[in-house]
Structure 1
Amino acid sequence: MLALLRMKRQLSLLSLLLLLLLLAVIPAVVRSLSPSLNDDVLGLIVLKADIQDPKGKLVSWNEDDDSPCNWVGVKCNPRSNRVSELNLDGFSLSGHIGRGLLQLQSLRKLSLAKNNLTGTITPNIARLDSLRVLDLSENGLSGAIPEDFFRQCGSLRVISLAKNKLSGKIPDSLSSCSTLASINFSSNKFSGSLPSGIWSLNGLRSLDLSDNSLEGEIPKGIEGSNNLRAINLGKNQFSGKVPDGIGSCLLLRFIDLSENSFSGTLPETLQKLSLCNYLNLHMNSFTGEVPDWIGEMKSLETLDFSSNSFSGQLPSSIGNLQSLKVLNFAANGFTGTLPESMVNCKNLVVLDLSHNSLKGDLPAWIFKSGLQEVSLSEKKLSGSMNSPLASSVGSSLEILDLSHNAFSGEIASSVGALRSLQFLSLSKNFLVGPIPVSIGELKALNNLDLSENQLNGSIPLEIGGVVSLNELRLEKNFLWGQVPTSIEHCSSLTTLIVSQNRLSGYIPIAVAKLTNLQNVDLSFNNLSGSLPKQLANLPHLLTFNISHNNLQGELPAGGFFNTISPFSVTGNPSLCGSAVNKSCPAVLPKPIVLNPNSSSDSTSSSLPPNIVHKRIILSISALIAIGAAAVIVVGVIAITVLNLHVRSSAARSAAVLTLSAGDEFSHSPTTDANSGKLVMFSGDPDFSTGAHALLNKDCELGRGGFGAVYRTVLRDGHPVAIKKLTVSSLVKSQEDFEREVKKLGKVRHPNLVALEGYYWTPSLQLLICEFVSGGSLHKHIHEGLGGNFLSWNERFNIILGTAKSLAHLHQLNIIHYNIKSSNVLIDSTGEPKVGDFGLARLLPMLDRYVLSSKIQSALGYMAPEFACRTVKITEKCDVYGFGVLVLEVVTGKRPVEYMEDDVVVLCDMVRGALEEGRVEECVDGRLQGNFPAEEAIPVMKLGLICTSQVPSNRPDMGEVVNILELIRCPSEGQEELE
């Protein structure tokens, strides 16, 4: 019995154990029966493993979870519990798109836009049977799209690969993806022609291939795309005619063919597109007249035919376009007058007809309509400005550009009614009379240009009411009076140009309160008095031209004025300071006047003793002053005599310069004290005709660390630049000097200033160099020679040419040592020529401290190793100076700028901007967006690499040249400079 009970108890325990085991196994069995949950988790975890997540956006993705449906960025189908959407837009993710996505078999939408993903596109991603939307835009994806990418595209309807670095041809397999409704491949590097079967996609509604390098003609068959709503082929290299079949796409609303090479006339079928509201043909080669049927496209809101070769008169049917908001026909060959019917375009906001040959009066309806932007510049419009402006009450104009026409008369006082105006340019007309005081009512105005007219009167005090003003240009008029002190209220002013007028009086201290000033030109006026010392505190000054006035006294000390160009202050005889090469007189106490009628005893005896004592002291002081004055007079006379003696000696020395015929390095036969040795490396000119240049300040071109440079012309009419060395005590012996100079004379490169000869005496050494007529790079960047500033293309060519010249020098084992913008000259073709190379080799020993003192004007360009005796000076110090020069050329700023309470080092400023993601803001503001960011940003990055503190981290100049050439012409698949 006990055994039976014991057996039953054991069976009960065994049953309990089996039950517990089943409870443990059942969940695993259930999971094995639902493998889809593990597939989605596995796929997403594998995807996460291939990417970096610096902001921790994917921290909720846990591989131990049974389902990803609660993870950030994940959506699931509530019925199947499978992942249907993955949206990770703007998560700052980087890395590669892995194969984990292929596990998500129920995925309908995949969006990884606005991240930093790199690498190529996963080949099979389009083959997910359920995928409808694929958005990988705004990343760093590169390489070509696999040819068979679209062969099995499942149910894909929307694909966006915009704003990446994809290259190569658009695969022909795209035409086989019949379900596609929207394609966006814009802003990549695609090349070649469009797939021939692109129009076989019957469901296609939107096609955006803009901003690539596609070429060829638009394939035939576009009339088959009946569902097409939008087509954007802008910014490519397409050519040929626009196919007539485009008019069969009756649902088209958006057409952008801008910035290509399309030609011919407009296809007549366009008139059928009654739903089209956007038509942009900007910057092509279309010809012929704008047809009357353009008025049939009554849904048009934007019509841009600018920068083509259209001609003839504007059709009056434009007045039928009552929905029109933007009309831009600029830069064509239109003639005749503005159609009166345009008054019916009630919704017009922007009107640009500039750069044509239209004529006639300015229509009054421009000021009565709802127009906000009007540009009619560089036409042949004429008539009075008075009557149209009289109707400007209530006008909503924000931009009005009527420059470069033939308008006459006075500026009506009703201009003050244009309260919304932000930009007003009436320059280059024939306007007369005063500037109306009502101008001060334009509170929103930030740019006012009335230059090159015949305006007279004074600058009104009311100008101070234009509190938003950034730029004021009044040059080349007949304005008189003073610069108004009310200008100080225009606190945002950056540009003040009032040159070539008849202004007089003092420069007010109010100008020094405009702390945002960058460019000031007061030249060619009648201004007088001294300059306010407070001008030195202006932190952002780039130019300050006060030449050809009657200013006097000392230039302000510090800041911009420490490096002001002599050209900016010339023509003021009474100005003094280093910039005008004229020392300022010392401030002396007023002279003591003695009474010649005083008698010796009689007067003094009648005065109190204390007064007598004072007169005795006064007399002694007077005698001392007289004695000091006499010594000064004798000293001045002695210095004058010595100076005349030195000049006559130098003149005799220069006058006997002769050139004897013979071998390549010919020598003059005499070497006595009054003659020297002249060597010319080629030709046989008579140098003596230029001797006067050495004594003539008017021929001086500039001064540097090694000496002054003069321009002279040889007897055969050949101009040369002569560098008069001022380091005689440091120059080597004649033998060593000649050996080094002859080596430099053999250096030839298109971007180097050629050394043509030299002259030697123990007390005078001259280098005879090629004369470069275009001035220095420094003046082009910081002073705008000729009123112009360098374009981006010119700047890039200067950087590249300078790099090539330094690479050539380094191949010859020549270190420049003195790279700076004033040593880069620009010739008449815009090519850079680097001068002053190798001059350090003329010193008896290459002591970096002696050398530093000679090139101290290169502050900001000098490599840090100059300050350390233990670091070897190599070609890498030139690389550093070149890097600083690159940043100077791109930004338009000096290597070191002195602010009111700070010193800004250009390298540090750009490096900080790069770290903060705003390096594009550093590009010279005068380019105003007219530069390719894909070139400017890598060039600035290259400049920063060249200015590395560690010499070994800087590239060689040969590598720099290669990098620059890749930036200008990137090869297929080439990564951008990191």
Structure 2
Amino acid sequence: MSTTLLLFALCFYLLTCFWVTMAMATDSVQLNDDVLGLMVFKSDLQDPSSYLRSWIEDDETPCSWQFVRCNPVTARVSELSLDGLGLSGKISGRGLQKLQHLKVLSLSCNNFTGNISPELGFIHSLQTLNLSQNSLSGPIPTSFVSNSIRFLDLSGNSLSGPIPNDLFRNCSLNYLSLSRNSLQGSLPTNLPRCSSLNTLNLSDNHFSGSPDFASASGIWSMNRLRVLDLSNNQFSGALPLGMFNLHNLKQLLLQGNRFFGPLPPDMGLCPHLTTLNLSHNLFSGELPESLQNLNSLTWFSLSNNMLTGELPLWIGNLSSLQHLDLSSNSISGSLPWTIGNLKSLNYLSLSSNNLTGNIPTSLAYCSELSVVRLRDNGLNGSIPDALFQLGLEEVDFSHNGLTGPMPPVSSRLIESLQVLDLSRNNLEDHIPAEMANIRFLNLSWNNLQIKFPPEIGFWRNLTVLDLQNTALYGAIPTGICDSGSLTILQLDGNSLTGPIPDEIGNCSSLSLLSLSHNNLSGSIPKSISNLSKLKILKLELNELSGEIPVEFGRLGNLLAVNISHNRLTGRLPVGGIFQSLDASAMEGNLGICSPLLKEPCKMNVPKPLVLDPFAYKVPSGRTNRTSSTFHHRTFLSVSAIIAISAAILIASGVIVISLLNVSVRRRLAFVDKALESMCSTSSSSSRFGNLQTGKFILFDSSSDWINCKPESVLQKAAEIGGGVFGTVYKVSLGDGRMAALKKLVTSDIIQYPEDFDREVRVLGKARHPNLISLVGYYWTPQLQLLVSEYAPYGNLQTRLHQRQPSTAPLSWTSRFKIILGTAKGLAHLHHSFRPPIVHYNIKPSNILVDENCNPKISDYGLARLLSLRRLEKHVISNRFQGAAGYVAPELACQSLRVTEKCDVYGFGVLMMELVSGRRAVEYGDDNVMILSEQVRVMVEQGNVLDCVDRNMGDYPEDHVLPVLKLALVCTSHIPSSRPSMAEIVQILQVIRTPLPHTVELF
């Protein structure tokens, strides 16, 4: 018996050891699967900072690797978090698919590219997937249909196409964010199946249609939602009654869509709502009374809608409110006194409404107030003194009818205030003496009637000072630039006297200096030449005298100067913008030396020595004869010199011209014969016929590029475009570089090689970052070719109007970059050459755009290559038919008065296209829409925002609206009313300036 028991125990021991060994072997295989999967994943990515250097394939387990977490019980990988490591490459689904115990996969804030691998959906244990803030593209895989994923964040990529309807077939999601992609289409009908969803963020995409608000099975049946963000899409429709029954909703963000109609009366039925943003839509009507029940609301914005009615008294019941923005509506009436009940209010904006009456003193009870904007209303009365006792950071009461003096400021306000804009009111009396931290001060268009306060120079942080038309008198303080931080100084339209202080040169950051319409005297300080960042200088309508300092020619950033109507004399500085100043910027002076001016030129130089013939005594009795003889000889000698010189010059000119005509004829015949004999070959038969062949000339090379065989070049070239001036080919220069070759229409091109060479070389000198460079040419009487820089990324016409659905629309940043760059390129053509180079044909297809949205203008000045007798036929009859909508009115009327203002008109239309996303001319079934006229009507009717392209998402209104207004000025029917391109550039740069307020331009 004991032996039997012993044998049994021995067998049991051996069997136990066997199973333990097998279990250990199985675990080893499983652990090796995790190592293998992670190593395969690592092999497909780049790790420039070597964050994954601890991942070694010889390890038996990855649990000790950095950024990897394992389940302590199973020793299997449960979490992989590689956020913000700068990784790039593809996300390998085949490697990660082996991690069958993985619950958390977070790869956000990296540089991963390519499509999202469908294999990620086969990790059945996965609960959290975060691929946000990468560069992933393509559609969302339907393999993500899983009942295990709870958290899915794909935001901040370049995903496109619609959301797959099957994505929510077995939905267990608690969190879903697809924001900041290029997704489109309507919302999936299966979305409400995600009954556990508490956060849904679909913002900043291209979704359209009307969300299923009203249906009981629609979005509003998802009663667990706490955050709903549909902002910055193209949703439309009205918000129906009954849609605000989501009692758990805390944040509702619908801004930047096309919702319209009145606000539902049951908006106040979400008791936990803290954030409500319905701005930038088309809502109308009055504020619903139910809103007063939102006691938890802290952020409330309905700006940029079409709301009417008065601001109700119950607004003071929103006791938790910190941010209130109802700007850019049509709200009328007075500000209710109950607004002072908002004790937590930090931000208040009621700008651009129809409010009237006084600013209530109770507003000072909002003790936490930091920003208050009441701009552009009809408010009157005085500013409450108590308001300036608060710790305000920004005050904007501009464009109202406020009167009386500015209130005295408290020490608290002195320390906190950074922006003060009280412009265009009727304020008087004084400017606050101490402002320690103020950065922006605009008191223009008031009636201060005070002496210029010298203490302004001690405001160390002041960057913008605008005191235009404030009835200031006295001298400009010498210490005005002591702070050294001023970028904009505008003192126009006052009664300032005395000289411009030399210390103005200490304003080293100054970009705009405007002192026009004053009584300033003395000379222009040489120290202004130290202002290397200066872009705009306006000194017109003063009493300035003397010469302009020659050192001003070194101001390379200067874009606009006006020195008209002073007492200036002498030569203009050499260099910079002074060589291309318009006559209107210099007229009305005593005698500036410029060929553009008709006034006499006065030079401040010593007078030459003049001998007086009567200073010498002559013998008596010979006085009359000698004197008479002297005068006669003097008269004869001077007259003779002038007459003989003129005769010689005229005769010489006639002889030279005659000889030149003969020489040119002989030389042309010689050139033709020489070219024919030099390049005659047995292979002259080609698609171009028997040519009198020339050679390719490259401006940057002393040797010829290709001799005598243009046909072989064109046969190998790829045609990439064309127009009325000719066909464009893509060719190789033979050294790895590519070039664009334009084969010109020969019948209309000037026929003499010297003229052609001269004009092309002028165009070749137009080198600028925003111009396509012309690098060479080929000429024979039968064939003319232009060689220019090749731009591989296409033109604005394609990017703006022929965009593929998979391509993201241009953002406002990109559009503004194109506008400013194009303006700079045109300004270079107009102002750096005499006569100016006029483009004649500004339109999107002639604006080439690189991968970073930097514009380059092509086909400029080609009309210079047309003979004068062909200009009318070619330019008027042919070209303008292909540029409908961009043609200035004076050209459409068959006039040949082609000036730079024609380009300005076309540029204005181009700006409208970039802002609106619409074509210059759109043809309907029974009508034709001219963009410039439509925009003008919409602006006059107050519907400016209807002009803006919704596809570009968020945009700064303080940038877009001034650009639209500038476009309207550029498309004025009166050429003289259009600004120059230099003025346009400076205006655009002021718009772009990162200041808290945009300088008033119109």
Which interval holds the TM-score relative to the shorter structure? 0.5 to 0.7
Change (3 A) 1:554 1:880: farther
Superposed, which structure 2 residues align to 1:416-495 within 5 Å? 416-495=433-512
The answer to whether the aligner puts 1:317 opposite 2:338 as a matched pair is yes
Change (3 A) 1:515 1:389: same
User: For 2:853, what is the secondary structure of its paired residue?
Assistant: helix
Distance 1:79 1:219 in 2: 53
Q: Per-residue CA shift, 1:854-892, capped at 9, x if unaligned?
A: 557745487555436599864775998998999884237
Identity %: 35
Distance 1:232 1:437 in 2: 49
2:758 to 850, 856, 860: 850
Superposed, which structure 2 residues align to 1:720-735 within 5 Å? none
With structure 2 as the length reference, what TM-score do the two structures score? 0.62
The answer for the alignment partner of 2:321 in structure 1 is 300
The answer to whether the aligner puts 1:205 opposite 2:114 as a matched pair is no
How many residue pairs match? The answer is 707
Distance 2:57 2:237 in 1: 51
User: For 2:479, what is the secondary structure of its paired residue?
Assistant: helix
Quote the offset at 1:35 in angstroms.
Answer: 7.2
Distance 1:360 1:975 in 2: 41
The answer to whether the aligner puts 1:943 opposite 2:855 as a matched pair is yes
Quote the offset at 1:469 in angstroms.
Answer: 0.8
The answer to whether the aligner puts 1:135 opposite 2:149 as a matched pair is no
Decide whether the 8 Å contact of 2:178 with 2:201 is kept in 1: yes
Q: Per-residue CA shift, 1:223-253, capped at 9, x if unaligned?
A: 4321111111111111223323331211111
The answer for the alignment partner of 1:111 in structure 2 is 130
1:83 to 78, 91, 98: 78
Superposed, which structure 2 residues align to 1:575-654 within 5 Å? 575-577=592-594, 580=597, 590-591=608-609
2:423 to 390, 393, 403: 403
Change (3 A) 1:565 1:598: closer
1:147 to 154, 162, 165: 165
Distance 2:242 2:574 in 1: 73
Distance 2:577 2:283 in 1: 50
- RCO higher in structure (CA 8 A, sep ≥6): 2
Distance 2:31 2:772 in 1: 62
Decide whether the 8 Å contact of 1:478 with 1:502 is kept in 2: yes
Decide whether the 8 Å contact of 1:281 with 1:306 is kept in 2: yes
2:361 to 337, 340, 343: 340
Distance 1:640 1:457 in 2: 55
Quote the offset at 1:946 in angstroms.
Answer: 6.2
Quote the offset at 1:518 in angstroms.
Answer: 1.0
Can you give the 5+ residue segments of structure 2 that lack an aligned partner in the other structure?
1-13, 80-103, 619-632, 655-659, 667-719, 729-744, 798-814, 833-846, 861-878, 887-909, 920-948, 954-1002
The answer for the alignment partner of 1:374 in structure 2 is 395
Which residue type is aligned with residue 402 of structure 2? Answer: L
Decide whether the 8 Å contact of 1:217 with 1:239 is kept in 2: yes
The answer for the alignment partner of 1:95 in structure 2 is 114
The answer for the alignment partner of 2:573 in structure 1 is 556
User: For 1:443, what is the secondary structure of its paired residue?
Assistant: coil
The answer for the alignment partner of 1:867 in structure 2 is 776
The answer for the alignment partner of 2:957 in structure 1 is none
Change (3 A) 1:375 1:641: farther
Quote the offset at 1:203 in angstroms.
Answer: 1.8
Quote the offset at 1:322 in angstroms.
Answer: 0.6
The answer for the alignment partner of 1:251 in structure 2 is 272
Decide whether the 8 Å contact of 1:83 with 1:104 is kept in 2: no
Which residue type is aligned with residue 403 of structure 1? Answer: S
Q: Per-residue CA shift, 1:643-671, capped at 9, x if unaligned?
A: 999xxx9xxxxxxxxxxxxxxxxxxxxxx
2:142 to 123, 130, 145: 123
Distance 2:350 2:220 in 1: 31
Which residue type is aligned with residue 293 of structure 2? Answer: K
Distance 2:171 2:759 in 1: 69
Which residue type is aligned with residue 217 of structure 1? Answer: A
Decide whether the 8 Å contact of 1:398 with 1:423 is kept in 2: yes
Can you give the 5+ residue segments of structure 1 that lack an aligned partner in the other structure?
1-18, 601-626, 650-726, 734-806, 816-836, 904-934, 949-955
Moved more, 572-581 or 203-212: 572-581
Superposed, which structure 2 residues align to 1:475-874 within 5 Å? 475-577=492-594, 580=597, 590-591=608-609, 810-811=723-724, 813=726, 841-845=749-753, 848-853=756-761, 855=763, 858-860=766-768, 864-867=773-776, 874=785
2:188 to 152, 167, 171: 171
The answer for the alignment partner of 1:800 in structure 2 is none
User: For 2:314, what is the secondary structure of its paired residue?
Assistant: helix
Moved more, 41-50 or 486-495: 41-50
Distance 1:379 1:939 in 2: 45
Change (3 A) 1:277 1:597: closer
The answer for the alignment partner of 2:821 in structure 1 is 891
User: For 1:142, what is the secondary structure of its paired residue?
Assistant: strand
Quote the offset at 1:394 in angstroms.
Answer: 3.8
Decide whether the 8 Å contact of 1:54 with 1:93 is kept in 2: no
User: For 1:417, what is the secondary structure of its paired residue?
Assistant: coil
Decide whether the 8 Å contact of 1:364 with 1:391 is kept in 2: no
The answer to whether the aligner puts 1:330 opposite 2:324 as a matched pair is no
User: For 2:231, what is the secondary structure of its paired residue?
Assistant: coil
Distance 1:884 1:203 in 2: 46
The answer for the alignment partner of 1:227 in structure 2 is 248
Distance 2:388 2:279 in 1: 30
Change (3 A) 1:39 1:464: same
Quote the offset at 1:642 in angstroms.
Answer: 11
Distance 1:73 1:970 in 2: 49
Distance 1:346 1:109 in 2: 44
Distance 1:94 1:61 in 2: 22
Q: Per-residue CA shift, 1:68-122, capped at 9, x if unaligned?
A: 5455544333334242422222222222221332343333322222211111112
Moved more, 165-174 or 299-308: 165-174
Decide whether the 8 Å contact of 2:821 with 2:855 is kept in 1: no
Decide whether the 8 Å contact of 2:28 with 2:60 is kept in 1: no
Quote the offset at 1:57 in angstroms.
Answer: 5.6
Q: Per-residue CA shift, 1:552-596, capped at 9, x if unaligned?
A: 111111233233333322323411145648889798995386998
Decide whether the 8 Å contact of 1:194 with 1:219 is kept in 2: no
User: For 1:171, what is the secondary structure of its paired residue?
Assistant: coil
Distance 1:242 1:371 in 2: 33
The answer for the alignment partner of 1:291 in structure 2 is 312
User: For 2:398, what is the secondary structure of its paired residue?
Assistant: coil
Distance 1:866 1:411 in 2: 61
The answer for the alignment partner of 1:616 in structure 2 is none
2:201 to 171, 184, 205: 184
Q: Per-residue CA shift, 1:586-628, capped at 9, x if unaligned?
A: 989953869987899xxxxxxxxxxxxxxxxxxxxxxxxxx99
Change (3 A) 1:586 1:532: closer
Quote the offset at 1:844 in angstroms.
Answer: 3.0
Which residue type is aligned with residue 70 of structure 2? Answer: C
Q: Per-residue CA shift, 1:782-839, capped at 9, x if unaligned?
A: xxxxxxxxxxxxxxxxxxxxxxxxx999246499xxxxxxxxxxxxxxxxxxxxx999
Decide whether the 8 Å contact of 1:425 with 1:450 is kept in 2: yes
The answer for the alignment partner of 2:717 in structure 1 is none
Quote the offset at 1:501 in angstroms.
Answer: 1.4
Decide whether the 8 Å contact of 1:276 with 1:299 is kept in 2: yes
